[in-house]
Amino acid sequence: MLTYKAPLRDMKFLMNEVLDYQGHYKALDNGAGADAETVAMILEGFADFAENVLSPLYQPADAEGCTFKDGEVSTPKGFKEAYQQFVEGGWQGISYPENYGGMNLPMSLNLIKSEMMGTANWPWAMYPGLTTGSINTILQYGDDAQKDAYLPKLISGEWSGTMCLTEAQCGTDLNQMKTRATPNADGSYAITGSKIFISAGEHDLTENIIHIVLARLPDAPAGTKGISLFIVPKFIVNADGSLGERNAVTCGSIEHKMGINSSATCVLNFDGATGFLIGEPNKGLKAMFTYMNTARIGTGIQGLSHMELAFQNALPYAKERRSMRALSGAKEPEQPADAIIHHADVRRMLLTQKAFVEGARSMIYHAARYSDHLSSAVVRGDEAAIKKWDDKLGFYTPILKGFLTELGIESAKHGQQIFGGHGYIKESGMELIARDARISTLYEGTTGVQALDLLGRKVLLHGGGKVVRDYTTGIMKWCGEYALDKDMRQFVWALTKLCAEWNMLTARLLLTARKDRDIVSAASDDFLMYSGYVMMAYHWARMAAVAFDKLKNGGKQPKEFYLAKTQTAEFYFEKILPRTSSHAEAMTTPSEVMMKMDIEHFIID
Amino acid sequence: MLTYKAPLRDMKFLMNEVLDYQGHYKALDNGAGADAETVAMILEGFADFAENVLSPLYQPADAEGCTFKDGEVSTPKGFKEAYQQFVEGGWQGISYPENYGGMNLPMSLNLIKSEMMGTANWPWAMYPGLTTGSINTILQYGDDAQKDAYLPKLISGEWSGTMCLTEAQCGTDLNQMKTRATPNADGSYAITGSKIFISAGEHDLTENIIHIVLARLPDAPAGTKGISLFIVPKFIVNADGSLGERNAVTCGSIEHKMGINSSATCVLNFDGATGFLIGEPNKGLKAMFTYMNTARIGTGIQGLSHMELAFQNALPYAKERRSMRALSGAKEPEQPADAIIHHADVRRMLLTQKAFVEGARSMIYHAARYSDHLSSAVVRGDEAAIKKWDDKLGFYTPILKGFLTELGIESAKHGQQIFGGHGYIKESGMELIARDARISTLYEGTTGVQALDLLGRKVLLHGGGKVVRDYTTGIMKWCGEYALDKDMRQFVWALTKLCAEWNMLTARLLLTARKDRDIVSAASDDFLMYSGYVMMAYHWARMAAVAFDKLKNGGKQPKEFYLAKTQTAEFYFEKILPRTSSHAEAMTTPSEVMMKMDIEHFIID
């Protein structure tokens, strides 16, 4: 059986020793409440809930799955009770404004909450996770009446939310979206169409569900310039806040999937359902981009979550399971065989998991600081600040989403390999992590979509690779500080070389793309993975620098944690970072190599 | 829904144009019957059975799974009827001697049959697949009476077989095996113990099941030197060939797994079951190595199978599904969007699948020629020839098993990515391929076990890397023939460089291993993958050479097939082969980087 223990030591290392969260919080509008003591208390609270309430439900709920009957969806045993506890704890609202019932704490704490809940039980965490999408949308684009009507109950968790984008014929390409909105006499709209893959689209956890729906107005321009956003509540909300009539939005079925079985993935049919325009007409796409940034970071957290759970549960097995002797001689001669953790190849897999999860956490906790700024700008309604932080975050989003979810899949795979044949059996839970991880590179934009967003939009479109230049300048400045540090030398040299190469590759792609537009797509996956590995290397170097400092100047405190950090950093640089070589080499392959095959020649009978 | 069409054109290309199967068959003891016409007819027959009988059962059977009740296992609907057809066709026996009812054709045709059946429906194909394990064991190690008693009904397919190795406490490490065999007064043995993960251990397809069981005699030396092999029939076979009493071997339960749900994975309890010693006492391990070579090539074929099915079914989707416009401009301007096959990144995934599957097929069909020699040596009882061909095959086995199954998983993953969110839904079948592929790197020895077998046993232990020197000498000789060929230059240069590097890396590891034994384990995974990519590159170069020749000198026959071959070869060399750089770089990392972390420091609370 899978178990979860929140890695509080590692979280605190990042927040307090590497990323100076307390200093950062002090500079935030809504950071005052997040003093060290409160943060510690909140982390303990999340940990307790995740470890003791959510984690035990994870495997049984997967086996049970959701049930669909007559338009109603029942979640697995225990989900409702857990959700009730979540609502009672007020945890949906920790990072939302007090005037709507929230705790007004920085958004980063909400992301760390998501990590813990998601690691313990990802499919359960999707229900409150989707709600944050609709809260954020209403908070940023809703008018005051809409905020007053929906936010308090969404922020308390009494109601949940969804985001309804995908239709059968289109996911990524919203140009092809068909759902229609026709004005009613009373200022509302009649929404008609069918949406698929709607997570938490119907369930039994809350008394109302607030759908945010993309649809077209009658006079809308074609394509994405004609998309508007609508609030479509499952039950119409009366003026006094009570629930009115059932709206004409029904769940047609739930999907049978590879995993996340206890998260209901719904077909939602809108049959002239009453909707309320949110934001300006035909400006829905922009709002979706904002939503997407958040959702993609959330999916990046999914990558982190699966890494953590796979690692935590593979490690004890590797210490217990005995097979053969270590090549360098028996390590447990009194036993019939050595524990498999004594085999270098098993350690390679465990250290890969460890390097990934701790590197990923650092990347996410770093980006979470931008989320803090962005979300406090949204609350202030400060458009310039929103744009600034949204842009900053925009560079990280596709890397966190695209790169970390791929690593989440790899990490889950290592977990199965460490378990051997037992990793394929349901009981071990490793196969569940692998199945659940598998969705993360597909939804909220596939890895291909992230890769194109990174290379095409974020890197090449603006200032000819400026974002890479800026980012690597930061790395090189930092490296400069450690140029004479003997312990750090290996990391600093490797990073410096990679910064030069990353810029060179970017420049080369930019040049090629002038004549060969397809190169941007052809190179995108390699560019994404390359960027991810370099970014993670920078994070590992920073963590190593702190750890070396503590080893030398940390006084009497226990040193093991820091020693393991420096050893893991070394492993990452020696054994993982060489992957950049292949990506660097492959990404400059001319697109012609991919494009020239005739579409009918891929298979010839 | 998944469909399967046997890629006969590609199979014939390899057999007739690249690997000269007809010339090879002429030199075989049992090759006479395998003339071009017979082979063509047999391939058509397999294809028809796989496409029309097995393929339609694949997805429904996964949903239904096997049922366990009171010690009996029921296979999914349609499995029995399909198996009956298989028996009626006489297909279990195509590559076995005529005196036991077989068709006496070369073993390679049996492997090609396995490919087609396995691609159409891997879990179904496991039932007859396991039988070949017990046929081969009895053929090589049984006495005449045992051969007469068991082979005819196994070879006809009326009975099936299993291989019972694994126990709860050990899979790879047979040292720890506990099952005991006590002599009975009549010369038989009483077998007592429990075996797990026994594929096809119990089912309703055949009237009898012949288990080959590893157990220890009372006076057996400890460890693997004390393992003997026993035949344990489900029903005792009377002297007249009729079925006698039910033996004391019972199925305790079946496993709940990530995939291969319609293949019954059984716990078998032997409660003083009657067993018959096969081969010499305490020499069971050697026989198991022979079995393993076959089983591992069989699992390599599983890699190929999943690649083929994922590619075949992703391709039409990529031609139909429309999303966005190609970066180089609209390719289907009359449509609302371009088919996704016009995006370079999607082509990258499709071409990766294509390069993998066609490269893998070439590797397997090449190794199958050694299987032909080996199995005809077994029939002749020619020990020297058995050793020769077993040794030759020994170099390929861990690469086919270890490398191709990893690529099978990757290929299934690309299939899901091409389908986007739909790839996660059961209906598409892509998730089923991914789940079923997942077992292939776990059973019959994990990838880690294959990697260690390759680097430790096959490469370093004998002649200090002689096998790599010999293999690369072959490649370089071949390259020499094409040194002046303009079309082939890019391939020849790349291969020559890789041959030098492969030898250099081997020598370096050999040297390091003298002082640092753990390096063999630490480097093994990178070495395996590196070797696999280079071997596949050689196969692609050979296929390209044939294809270029046909393009230039092939007369009036259609050229598309050959053009696509050369384009795929180019893709492989440009976009896939750079992966060797990372593996080359990572494999020389000192083992200390993996070994030095204290076992208790991997996670510190």
Please give the average per-residue pLDDT across B2-25, as a whole number: 98
Mark whether B437 and B462 lie in a shared domain: no
Residues A11/A51, Cβ–Cβ less than 8 Å: no
Best CA proximity match to A259, nearest among A500, A44, A431, A68:
A431
Q: Note the pLDDT of residue A556.
A: 85
Mark whether B485 and B391 lie in a shared domain: no
Regarding beta strands A72-74 and A67-69, do their DSSP bridges make them parallel or antiparallel, or are they unpaired? antiparallel
DSSP label at residue A106? -
Mark whether B569 and B501 lie in a shared domain: yes
**Helices and strands per DSSP (H, E), number in chain B:** 19, 11
Half-sphere exposure of B105 (CA within 13 A, CB side): 23
Task: State yes or no: pLDDT of B555 exceeds 90.
Answer: no
Task: State yes or no: pLDDT of B4 exceeds 90.
Answer: yes
Task: Test A255 with B350 for CB contact under 8 angstroms.
Answer: no
Q: Note the pLDDT of residue A290.
A: 79
Task: Test B560 with A602 for CB contact under 8 angstroms.
Answer: no
Nearest residue on chain A to B420, alpha-carbon basis: A442
Mark whether B430 and B471 lie in a shared domain: no
| Packing angle, helices A344-380 and A519-553, rounded to 10 | 100
- 3 state SS for B239-291: CCCCEEEECCEEEEEECCECCCCCCCEEEEEEEEEEEEEECCCCCHHHHHHHH
Chain A nearest-CA distance from B584, in A, is: 9
In a domain, A409, yes or no: no
Structure tokens at B149: 């008693």
Mark whether B294 and B428 lie in a shared domain: yes
What is the tens place of the pLDDT at every residue in B390-420? 999 999 999 999 999 999 999 999 999 999 9
What is the tens place of the pLDDT at every residue in B86-116? 999 999 999 999 999 999 999 999 999 999 9
Best CA proximity match to B409, nearest among B366, B438, B376:
B438
Give Cα A556 distance to the centre of its chain: 37
Task: Test A258 with B426 for CB contact under 8 angstroms.
Answer: yes
Can you tell me the distance from the alpha carbon of A352 to that of B339, in angstroms, rounded to the nearest whole number? 37
Structure tokens at A461: 């479109």
Chain A nearest-CA distance from B170, in A, is: 7
Mark whether B463 and B360 lie in a shared domain: no
What are the chain B neighbours of A255 within 8 Å (beta carbons)? 425-426
Alpha helices (runs of H) in B65-106, residue ranges in sequence order? 79-88
DSSP label at residue A220? P
A20 contact partners, CB below 8 Å, separation of at least 6: none
Compare CB distances from B257 to A176, A324, A426 and report the shortest one's residue. Answer: A426
Cβ-Cβ contacts under 8 Å between A and B: the total is 305
Q: Note the pLDDT of residue A294.
A: 85
What are the chain B neighbours of A285 within 8 Å (beta carbons)? none
Please give the average per-residue pLDDT across B14-26, as a whole number: 98
Residues A405/A302, Cβ–Cβ less than 8 Å: yes
A270 contact partners, CB below 8 Å, separation of at least 6: A179, A191, A192, A193, A194, A195, A213, A215, A232, A248, A249
Mark whether B408 and B487 lie in a shared domain: no
Q: Note the pLDDT of residue A605.
A: 87
Structure tokens at A373: 């700024």
What are the chain B neighbours of A315 within 8 Å (beta carbons)? 602-603
Task: Test B345 with A434 for CB contact under 8 angstroms.
Answer: no
Q: Note the pLDDT of residue A158.
A: 98
A196 contact partners, CB below 8 Å, separation of at least 6: A166, A167, A168, A255, A267, A268
Task: Test A323 with B519 for CB contact under 8 angstroms.
Answer: no
Task: Test B416 with A438 for CB contact under 8 angstroms.
Answer: yes
Domain total for chain A? 1
Structure tokens at B95: 């590559």
Chain B nearest-CA distance from A555, in A, is: 19
In a domain, A322, yes or no: no
Task: State yes or no: pLDDT of A460 exceeds 90.
Answer: yes
Compare CB distances from A594 to B9, B347, B590 and report the shortest one's residue. Answer: B347
What are the chain B neighbours of A176 within 8 Å (beta carbons)? 322-323, 336-337
DSSP lists the bridge partners of residue B159 as B208
In a domain, A231, yes or no: no
Structure tokens at B439: 């077992």
Can you tell me the distance from the alpha carbon of B82 to that of B88, in angstroms, rounded to the nearest whole number? 10
B279: left (phi over 0), alpha (psi -120 to 50) or beta: left
CB count within 10 Å of CB A483 equals 11
User: What is the span of the domain harbouring residue A475?
Assistant: 449-598
In a domain, A581, yes or no: yes
Task: Test A423 with B416 for CB contact under 8 angstroms.
Answer: no
Task: Test B605 with A9 for CB contact under 8 angstroms.
Answer: yes
Can you tell me the distance from the alpha carbon of A31 to that of B399, in angstroms, rounded to the nearest whole number? 56
DSSP-based three-state secondary structure for B231:
strand
Where residue B440 sits, what CATH number does that domain have? Answer: 1.20.140.10
Distances (CA, A) of A52 to A49, A82, A221, B115: 5, 10, 51, 47
Mark whether B457 and B529 lie in a shared domain: yes
Task: State yes or no: pLDDT of B251 exceeds 90.
Answer: yes
DSSP label at residue B322? B
DSSP lists the bridge partners of residue A193 as A270
DSSP label at residue A216? B
In a domain, A503, yes or no: yes
List residues of A with catalytic annotation: 444
Mark whether B306 and B438 lie in a shared domain: yes
Residues A270/A190, Cβ–Cβ less than 8 Å: no
Task: State yes or no: pLDDT of A477 exceeds 90.
Answer: yes
Task: State yes or no: pLDDT of A291 exceeds 90.
Answer: no
Structure tokens at A178: 């068909």
* Torsion angle (degrees, nearest 10) of CA A552, A556, A560, A566: -20
In a domain, A460, yes or no: yes
| B51, B178, B258, best to mutate vs chain A, most A CBs in 10 Å | B258
Task: State yes or no: pLDDT of B239 exceeds 90.
Answer: yes
Catalytic site residue B585?
no
Compare CB distances from A442 to B423, B571, B582 and report the shortest one's residue. Answer: B423
Q: Note the pLDDT of residue A554.
A: 87
In a domain, B269, yes or no: no
Percentage of residues of chain A with pLDDT beyond 90: 97
Task: State yes or no: pLDDT of B46 exceeds 90.
Answer: yes
Mark whether B421 and B456 lie in a shared domain: no
Q: What's the angle, vertex CA B541, arms to CA B538 and CA B544, rounded to 5?
A: 150
A288 pLDDT band (50/70/90 cuts)?
confident
B479 contact partners, CB below 8 Å, separation of at least 6: B492, B495, B496, B499, B541
Task: State yes or no: pLDDT of B290 exceeds 90.
Answer: no
Q: Note the pLDDT of residue A40.
A: 96
| B348, B357, B443, best to mutate vs chain A, most A CBs in 10 Å | B348
Average pLDDT, chain A: 97
Distances (CA, A) of A334 to A110, A330, B170, B222, B516: 49, 9, 17, 15, 23
Mark whether B468 and B394 lie in a shared domain: no
In a domain, B415, yes or no: yes
What is the tens place of the pLDDT at every residue in A546-596? 999 999 998 888 899 999 999 999 999 999 999 999 999 999 999 999 999
Chain A nearest-CA distance from B544, in A, is: 15
Task: State yes or no: pLDDT of A293 exceeds 90.
Answer: no
Compare CB distances from B348 to A175, A343, A522 and report the shortest one's residue. Answer: A522
Q: Note the pLDDT of residue A114.
A: 97
Compare CB distances from B345 to A424, A425, A524 and report the shortest one's residue. Answer: A524
What is the tens place of the pLDDT at every residue in B179-207? 999 999 999 999 999 999 999 999 999 99
Active-site position among B72, B81, B444, B600? B444
Residue at which a domain ends, from B397, B422, B448: B448
Chain B nearest-CA distance from A574, in A, is: 6
C-beta pairs of A342-345 under 8 Å, 24+ apart in sequence: A343/B448, A343/B521, A344/B518, A344/B519, A344/B520, A344/B521, A344/B522, A344/B591, A344/B594, A344/B595, A345/B448, A345/B451, A345/B452, A345/B521, A345/B522, A345/B524, A345/B525
Residue at which a domain ends, from B403, B425, B448: B448
Chain B nearest-CA distance from A567, in A, is: 7
| A517, A603, A605, best to mutate vs chain B, most B CBs in 10 Å | A603
Structure tokens at B303: 């890699």
| Packing angle, helices A344-380 and A404-419, rounded to 10 | 150
Helix, strand, coil percentages (3-state) for chain B, rounded to 5, are: 60, 10, 25
What is the tens place of the pLDDT at every residue in A190-241? 999 999 999 999 999 999 999 999 999 999 999 999 999 999 999 999 999 9
ipTM of the complex: 0.98
Residue at which a domain ends, from B391, B416, B448: B448
Mark whether B413 and B497 lie in a shared domain: no
Q: Note the pLDDT of residue A557.
A: 82
Distances (CA, A) of B520 to A8, A330, A572, B403, B510: 36, 16, 19, 17, 9
Please give the average per-residue pLDDT across A100-117, as a whole number: 97
Best CA proximity match to A593, nearest among B570, B15, B31, B12:
B570
The separation between the first and the last C-alpha atoms of chain B, rounded to the nearest angstrom, is 48
For residues A183-219, b (16+ Cβ closer than 10 Å) or e, as one string? eeeeebbbbbbebbbbbbbbbebbebbbbbbbbbbee
Residues A465/A455, Cβ–Cβ less than 8 Å: no
What are the chain A neighbours of B172 within 8 Å (beta carbons)? 323-324, 420
Q: Note the pLDDT of residue A565.
A: 98
